[in-house]
Amino acid sequence: MDNELIRLLLIEDNPGDARLVQEALSEARGVSFRVFSADRLTTGLQLLSEQTVDVLLLDLGLPDSQGLDTVITAHARFPDLPIVVFSGLDDETTALESLKCGAQDYLLKGTLHSAMLSRVLRYAIERQRLKTELIVSEARTRRIIEKNADGIVVADRRGVVRYANPAANVLFGVFGDDLMGRALRFPAITDVRTEITIPRGDERVVTVELRLVPTDWEGEPADIISLRDITDRKMAEIRIETQVQRLNALRRIDTAIAGSFDLRMMLNVLLEQATTQLGMDAASVMLLDPTDLTLDVIANRGFRTPTARAPRIKLGESFAGRAALERRSIMAIDPELIAGSPSFATLWAAEHFAAYACVPLIVKGEVKGVLEVFHRSPRTDDDEWRGFLETLAGQAAIAIDNAQLFKHLQLSNIELSLAYESTIEGWSRAMDLRDRETEGHTLRVTEVTERLARTMGIGNTELVHIRRGALLHDIGKMGVPDAILHKPGPLTAAEWEIMRRHPQFAYDMLSPIAYLRQALDIPYCHHEKWDGSGYPRGLAGKHISLAAQLFAVVDVWDALRSARPYRAAWSERKVLKHISSLAGTHFDPQVVAVFLKVVSDNAPCPHHYSEKVASA
């Protein structure tokens, strides 16, 4: 208790009584008092509102207030202040009523002494202690709130901020006490957790999770709103979503690349995905022409002024040319460089572009072109954005490479086909030359067989094989010695034995050649007969391939019309009569019927006949 300063207010209109109190207080040991005095209730209350006072000693008979009303008035104004009634009346009733009205104790003027005053002292000290504790606990609570990472705002029911901790100020992008007194419009909080985004002056958008607890603030209904910054979580969600969308975009591009060799179509799909997924306004792909080292625009998207664009630029020129030459991406460009590249500057101004990136398209170490993306307002990019841009560039490079490979493949296929056809025709000419007197036979039978096949409804794909088979039909005769082949008379049984092997020889010769496998039917089966009496395998009816059946009719027809070392040529009339007679034995009757119609329609097929003659 030592050295405590107790501040006491005495409201007493009687100077004698006041002096008595002063004397009693001065006798108290170990405690010093500071005594304030007032002789009216009004002046006393005025003093209380200006001074910190620990205890009030109150007379009940004042000029401006008497009796219990005095206690009631004082207690109503200062409910926490200990009031000790200081009464001249030895009246138990008034004393007890005083306590009910808010007084802590009462003292009788007549019995006033230091022992009595020690009670006054106790109230004063107790009050000081409570006050200190309150300050300490308030400070602790305040510290916790102030240091809280979550924003804490107390807003009244109109949304006016009555308190905001520093974290809340940071979330709203304001500093100091800026949030205080502002009216914030929070959305209707329908759930325990509600998300809001706070667009701020610094262009950052903060996502906040709100929680709301109704409370009282200085006697008014209010809400404690805690605001948790979930921007990072939100950003992570958005990143994942973006990632999923980008992967889908890549899948769509892959599908386009796998499903087509149409480069422009593929690149259009790619540019569509590039602009949407990268959030860009325009994009283009330029293709490097390795012969004259220029970049030519091959696909475009999102340009408003197509003519503002140079259709081709030299390698090393402008940004695209530099990206291709130096094999590096150009992500940011400075205005001086733009000005230094007049055609680019024209495009830039005409299209109102504000952001640009260019990535070289490299596949297997080879620069194929560039991918450019443009945006009409400035934008910041991140590693993921750049990563995706480069992935798209990789896809574009692959698409271009695929298309170029396919084009080369197609060309070499055509060259190879031409080479094969010439080889086949060369072989068949060699055959005709060896068969001297059958010269022209092969081309003739080929042409008529094709016509017959077409009439029978055979399609182009099969016709290719039929044509090759017809050209090579007697290639097996290469295995037949001249002595037999050129014998001017009938063959002996032994000679026949060899002659009849020519289809098998053809099969043995040609079957290892994959390219001719589908053309084997005619060389292998053109001597099979409808009734099964032919060779080499004695196949009958539909077991003989249609191509070989058609060809067999034409072959016999042409052989009989031609002179042979062993006989003279037959007349057309005799040949046709002979063919008719073989329907159902040597030949399929239906094929014979169609054949007779085809040869009686003597006009040669306009497309094919002349071609064959020309190439012969």
Q: Which residues bind ligand SIN (CB under 6 A)?
A: 309-310, 313, 318-320, 341, 343-344, 347, 372, 462, 465-466, 469, 518-519, 521, 545-547
Q: Which residue from 195, 200, 340, 566 is in contact with ligand C2E, where contact means CB under 6 A?
A: 566
Cα-based angle 351, 353, 357 (whole degrees, multiple of 5) = 125
- Partner in contact with 565, chosen from ligand C2E, Fe ion, ligand SIN, none, beta carbon below 5 to 8 Å by kind: ligand C2E
| Maximum Cα–Cα distance across the chain | 176
- Tell whether residue 491 is a contact of ligand C2E (CB under 6 A): yes
Indicate the residue among 179 and 357 with the shorter CB distance to ligand SIN: 357
What track of x and - describes contact with ligand C2E for positions 494 through 523 (by CB under 6 A)?
A: -----x------------------------
579 contacts 553 by C-beta, under 8 angstroms: yes
Phi, psi (degrees; rounded to nearest 5) at 406: -65, -40
Unique residue bearing structure tokens 């007032």: 38
CB of 462 to ligand SIN, least distance (A): 5
Indicate the residue among 425 and 555 with the shorter CB distance to ligand C2E: 555
Per residue, the 3-state secondary structure of 147-175, as one string, reads HCCCEEEEEECCCEEEEECHHHHHHCCCC
CB of 503 to Fe ion, least distance (A): 7
| Stretch of residues binding ligand C2E (CB under 6 A), selected from 313-321, 331-339, 442-450, 555-563 | 555-563
The residues near 580 (Cβ < 8 Å, ≥ 6 apart) are 592, 596
Amino acid at site 477: K
Indicate the residue among 83 and 367 with the shorter CB distance to ligand SIN: 367
Q: In the structure encoding, which two tokens stand for residue 608, read together?
A: 């094919």
Indicate the residue among 184 and 491 with the shorter CB distance to ligand C2E: 491
Classify the C-alpha dihedral 46-52-55-57 as positive or negative.
Answer: negative
> Cα separation of 418 and 13, whole Å?
134
Indicate the residue among 465 and 527 with the shorter CB distance to Fe ion: 527
Considering only residues 532 to 571 of the shown chain, the ones binding Fe ion according to CB under 5 A are 555
- Tell whether residue 521 is a contact of Fe ion (CB under 5 A): no
> Cα separation of 543 and 475, whole Å?
23
Chain centroid offset of residue 470 CA = 57
- Tell whether residue 579 is a contact of ligand C2E (CB under 6 A): no
CB of 491 to ligand C2E, least distance (A): 5
| Stretch of residues binding ligand C2E (CB under 6 A), selected from 53-61, 157-165, 202-210, 486-494 | 486-494
> Cα separation of 198 and 194, whole Å?
13
Q: Which residue from 223, 351, 450, 474 is in contact with Fe ion, where contact means CB under 5 A?
A: 474
> Cα separation of 608 and 493, whole Å?
40
CB of 584 to ligand C2E, least distance (A): 16
- Partner in contact with 566, chosen from Fe ion, ligand SIN, ligand C2E, none, beta carbon below 5 to 8 Å by kind: ligand C2E
According to DSSP, the residues that pair with 63 across neighbouring strands are: none
- Tell whether residue 142 is a contact of ligand C2E (CB under 6 A): no
Q: In the structure encoding, which two tokens stand for residue 289, read together?
A: 């022409």
- Tell whether residue 565 is a contact of ligand C2E (CB under 6 A): yes
> Cα separation of 191 and 275, whole Å?
37
Site residues (vs Fe ion, CB under 5 A): 474, 555
Site residues (vs ligand C2E, CB under 6 A): 487, 490-491, 499, 527, 555-556, 559-560, 564-567
